[in-house]
Every structure is written in C-alpha cells, then in structure tokens.
Amino acid sequence: MNKIGDTLRDARIEKKLSFDDVVDKTGIAPHYILAMELDQLKLLPEGKTNEYLEKYAQVVGLDPVSIIHGYRNQEMSDELILPSSAELAASPDSNIEKKDEEKSIEEPQELAIDSLDVTQNITEESPQIEDFKVKSEEVSEKIETIPSRLSKYDYDEEPKRKFHGL
C-alpha cells in the first residue's frame, strides 16, 4: 500500500513541479509540505490536515477526496498496528515482566570478592602533586613569552602612541 506522502511526492515529480512550486501554488509553509511528503501528518496544525491535503492534491492533479480518504484509512491502520502504551501496560504479559523486575529488585545478590586484592600500593604508580606543580610553572613561563594573537604588539614592544584621558 502506497503511503499518502509517497503518492503526493510522486505526483509532484510526475507533473515536473519543484518543491518551491508547490509551496507557491498552495500557500502552505514549506515545513508542512515536507511533513506531508514524509508522512508526518501529525506535525500539521490541528484541523488543517484535510485542507492542506486537499490543496496539495489539487496542485499536483490528484483527486482530493481520494487522498483524504487514503489519509484516514492510513491513520486507522496505523492505530491498529501500534497499540497505545496504556494498552501495553494493561496486557497480562507486561504484568508478569513487572513481577520479575520487582523480584530482582527485592532479592539482593551477593558478589564474590574473595580473591580480589584491594590493598595494592597505588601511590607508587600515580603521579604526585609536586609533578603537576613543576609542569604548571613551565607552562606558565611559556605562556608569558608568547604574545597574544589579539595583540599586534609583542611583549617586548610597546605601542608607539599612547592614548591619555580625553
């Protein structure tokens, strides 16, 4: 079964109309035209879906009534295929899964840590604070010698003109 968006887009291409042509002739905002072509009809403003489908169908030479009926049938078939989250929550299978989840939460599991040696001497391998102090001093010296990219003067140079209070 062809989706409504595919039907509209195929008709537009067959008529050799550009996307912008459809926007101009229908007066519908481009993002809504795109939503229709991508079957994202729920993105259209409430109460405008039939009107927009009718305008688009007329511009591309399709029967507006059949497009609107196709949209309604497509919408109903989508609802049949995708059950709502409330229906899923009420299904007996999900209740069984919930009970299993509750059991796993209620029953604490013991972890085996018998052979784990936690008393390793970590301080020998990890860097010390003194190492970082030396490195940060070296970096700050380098930064002081590099002129700012925003300044047109080096640190040794002074601007030739100094502005004093007005």
Q: What is the pLDDT of residue 71?
A: 85
User: Does residue 148 lie in a domain region?
Assistant: no
Q: What is the pLDDT of residue 81?
A: 57
**Distance from C-alpha of 3 to C-alpha of 18, rounded to nearest angstrom:** 20
**Distance from C-alpha of 105 to C-alpha of 102, rounded to nearest angstrom:** 5
Q: What is the pLDDT of residue 140?
A: 62
Number of C-beta neighbours around residue 39 at 10 A:
17
- Read off the pLDDT band of 61 (50, 70, 90): very high
CATH of the domain at 76: 1.10.260.40
Total domains in the chain come to 1
User: Does residue 59 lie in a domain region?
Assistant: yes
Mean pLDDT of 60-69: 90
User: Does residue 88 lie in a domain region?
Assistant: no
Contact 56, 66 (CB under 8 A): no
pLDDT surpassing 70 at residue 108: no
Determine what percent of the chain is predicted with pLDDT higher than 70. 46
Nearest alpha-carbon partner for 5 in 60, 87, 84, 46: 60
pLDDT in tens, 10-60: 999 999 999 999 999 999 999 999 999 998 988 988 889 899 999 999 999
Round the average pLDDT of the chain to a whole number and report it.
Answer: 72
**Alpha-carbon distances of 157 from 118, 147, 152, 154, rounded to whole Å:** 58, 10, 10, 5
Mean pLDDT of 98-103: 53
Mean pLDDT of 97-105: 53
Question: Which domain, by its residues, includes 19?
Answer: 4-81
